[in-house]
Structure 1
Amino acid sequence: MKNIEPEIAISYSQDTQSHIEQVISFANFLREKGYACFMDMLLKQNETSIDFNEMMLKLIPVAKKVIIILTPNYKKKAENFEGGVGKEYRIINDEILRMDNKYLLVTFLPLSTTSISTLLPHGLEGREIIDLNEDQKNGFELLFSKLSDTPIYLFSPVNSKKIKTASKLVKPFELNPLNTKKEIFACIKKILSENKQLLMQYGPNSLIALSNPISTSSETWISIKANTIIPNNNYIISLLEDNMNILSQYECDIFYKFKIHANAFERNQIERQDSEAVPCFPLDFEKMIYKEAE
């Protein structure tokens, strides 16, 4: 063993000669792909007069990865601690809780027609099994991902800035809801008036902001947008969408301009947008509301 540096060791049950041949082919396939894979049959070719079961028991703890080839017979031997499989399984059972990434459970049997419960020994329930029949269709992508500790999907790092959305204003409790177009437009007029006064008093072109660019007015404006203007806009949208039947097609078109502006205005509050991405407040919406509310 002094000259062996096992990257991968294979634990399996010698069920039939056909199965042994398949395991040999699998081990050779891994070696062809650049992985120093060892199994008992390889050791037997290179050594004589040694206990190969004992050698495998020494290889498993020092191997970087251990592939367990599951079959119903492997399960039986592992659970009853029979023969070489039973001895290997004692080590596996002890290590697997501490070294999750070291052990790979695979099967040559298609899981589409084989019950997992017939393959997994006690202690390994719930663990992932690589169906080599399925993985072969993808060039053994999952197998090599596990062997090389390389993720299949490279996820982005978590952005330090969380995207947030402004809270929506709760509609006022009203036993006598707005019924007529004039009442609805009069309500919207008051809201637009509030938004306009706040914009004039604290907005980027307000006297405070222009006279003292380093003042806290920008922070105040951000707070006002989030807590008052955006909820006001959302209330207007909700109110008109609940009463679309009162609007003519022309008025609908003007309302949609306001809605596009309001949604872009809110997105810009959450994450800064290019100025071209935020349409200006449509003055014809204000004219429409004020005219009907008079």
Structure 2
Amino acid sequence: MSKEHPSVFISYSWDSEEHENWVTFLAARLRENGVDATIDKFETQSKTVNLNRIMVEKIKNSDNILLILTENYAKKADTFQGGVGYETNLLIRYIKDNPDKIILIMRHKGDYRKAVPFYLEGFHFIDFSDDSQFDIKFDELLHRIFQVDVMDVPKVGAKPKLEPKKIIYDRVVNGTTDIIPNFKEITDLDKNKFMKQSYAEILSHLSDFAEQTRQKNSNFDFEKDNIHNQKAIIRFYINGMEKYAVKIWLGNLFGGGSQNIYLSYGRFNIDSDSSFNDVIECEVTKTKDLKLKMTMNSMTGNNTSDAYGVTVEIWKKIIQYLGY
């Protein structure tokens, strides 16, 4: 777990006034976002200091060292010139035992190899070369500093039950394969397991669609409330005002063996599950496979049969009411 205010030391070469201003701006943005970032200018503006001593202390004690890679930085590092050269002497030994503390920031357009010192070849860098992509790359940098994954990596699921298929010579020809019976039985337990999995997948896809919409639209937001493991409500906001909501739950309102997935749209009482707008049922095909069947309103008669296809139809209805 990272610190609340991780410390970061930024190493760079004095290429130009524009480049120094960019580095200063980066340090300031980091500090505004909870990172104790420092550069040489912050240390020297109010007192007389030994820069070499500062370099040693900051490299040793900071949680991360940011190296701003430019062609001039690489030249100074490879020839051990100036402050960059002094830091290179320290980092060559230090990086072997502390590679995760080093974060490379690329500020060079063209052949990136010209901006990478010899001892850093092959290391990953965050590319800040295109200023129009600054916010995206800055977000990636914050995730790295605070040790939060940029991408939510799914957990490894259970091993599927796999069996080798027997090689059978099928002598049934001329469209008469339906005379070979299939005695496989689909139980209520099979249906309920299928519907529980489908419910979880539909809810996950809806969250993904909403998250992608939020990333694309700054005035859009949503909240997902998991009432329990078989019922959730997602509320959608435009400019901070609730525009629409969908409640999705798993149950069986009319008794019987297998469960259904129910959906209610608009504003409603979350404690009442007696009314709904759409029902998703489990259907058994002629080949004894399980698929989803949407049975009410405008979704009736569509050809979707899996969780993703069903979610697309649900999402189309939601964004219609959001004014899309």
The aligned residue for residue 10 of structure 1 is 10
Q: Secondary structure at the match of 2:286?
A: helix
Aligned equivalents of 1:7 and 1:32: distance in 2? 13
The aligned residue for residue 82 of structure 2 is 83
Aligned equivalents of 2:174 and 2:60: distance in 1? 81
| Number of equivalent positions | 190
- Checking the alignment, whether the CA contact within 8 Å between 1:8 and 1:65 is kept in structure 2 is yes
Alpha-carbon offset, residue 134 of structure 1: 5.7
Alpha-carbon offset, residue 147 of structure 1: 1.2
The aligned residue for residue 125 of structure 2 is 129
- Checking the alignment, whether the CA contact within 8 Å between 2:6 and 2:145 is kept in structure 1 is no
Amino acid across the alignment from 1:140: F
The aligned residue for residue 286 of structure 2 is 258
How big is each residue's C-alpha offset from its partner over 1:68-99, in whole Å with a ceiling of 9 and x where there is no partner? 00000100111111121111112222222322
Alpha-carbon offset, residue 116 of structure 1: 1.1
How big is each residue's C-alpha offset from its partner over 1:217-246, in whole Å with a ceiling of 9 and x where there is no partner? xxxxxxxxxxxxxxxxxxxxxxxxxxxxxx
Q: Secondary structure at the match of 1:96?
A: helix
Amino acid across the alignment from 1:126: G
Q: Alpha carbon RMSD of aligned pairs, Å?
A: 3.2
Of 142, 164, 169, the match for 2:166: 169
How big is each residue's C-alpha offset from its partner over 1:47-70, in whole Å with a ceiling of 9 and x where there is no partner? 21x321332122111110110000
Larger helix percent: 1
The aligned residue for residue 147 of structure 2 is 149
Q: Which runs of 4+ in 1 moved over 6 A?
A: none
Q: Secondary structure at the match of 1:105?
A: strand
The aligned residue for residue 25 of structure 2 is 25
- Checking the alignment, whether the CA contact within 8 Å between 2:6 and 2:146 is kept in structure 1 is no
The aligned residue for residue 60 of structure 1 is 59
- Checking the alignment, whether the CA contact within 8 Å between 1:135 and 1:142 is kept in structure 2 is no
Answer with 146-155 or 66-75: which moved more. 146-155
Amino acid across the alignment from 2:105: V
Larger strand percent: 2
Aligned equivalents of 2:37 and 2:153: distance in 1? 30
The aligned residue for residue 39 of structure 1 is 39
Answer with 80-89 or 124-133: which moved more. 124-133
Answer with 27-36 or 73-82: which moved more. 27-36
Q: Which has the higher contact order (CA 8 A, sep 6+)?
A: 1
Unmatched 5+ stretches in structure 1: 205-255, 266-276, 278-294
- Checking the alignment, whether the CA contact within 8 Å between 2:126 and 2:137 is kept in structure 1 is no
TM normalised by structure 2 equals 0.51
Amino acid across the alignment from 2:104: L
Aligned equivalents of 1:147 and 1:181: distance in 2? 64
